[in-house]
Amino acid sequence: YCVEFRTESLSHHCALENRPYARWMQYLREGHTVCVACQPPAMSTDTHRCAGDGHNADGGKILHWEAIGNSQCQGTWKKIRQLEHCSCPLVHSFIFT
């Protein structure tokens, strides 16, 4: 499954990232909708969910995220909805880890 979030805030460290494999961090923006896929091995074998997916969070709850590879690139987002069948666009798509 996938979860759509709206980014609420992000640290300035994201925009400073210039390593080739991590340049995607420069394109994160407040107010953008991002789509995050939950796939094995991030998915718990017991619950079949990914940690941090905001399962019981309503749309008003602020949730925290952190980028893998640069722990200083972090911020907050709000859950918009969960999609049972992923249809994430190529841009602004991520995977839970």
Q: pLDDT tens digit string along 12-48? A: 999 998 898 888 888 899 999 999 999 888 999 999 9
Band the pLDDT of 58: cuts 50, 70, 90.
Answer: confident
pLDDT at 92 (0 to 100): 72
Phi, psi of 8 (to 5 degrees): -100, -40
For residue 52, the enclosing domain spans 2-92
pLDDT at 60 (0 to 100): 82
Domain-embedded: residue 85: yes
Number of domains forming the structure of the chain: 1
CB-CB contact of 22 with 69 (8 Å): yes
pLDDT at 37 (0 to 100): 92
Closest CA to 36 of 55, 12, 17, 61: 55
Q: Where are the beta strands (DSSP E) in the chain?
A: 2-10, 33-37, 62-66, 74-83, 93-95
Q: Evaluate if residue 76 carries a pLDDT over 90.
A: yes
Output the CA torsion 2→41→28→16 (10° steps).
180
Which has more pLDDT, 65 or 89?
65
Domain-embedded: residue 62: yes
CA distance 80 to 66: 18
CB-CB contact of 25 with 92 (8 Å): no
pLDDT at 9 (0 to 100): 96
Domain-embedded: residue 97: no
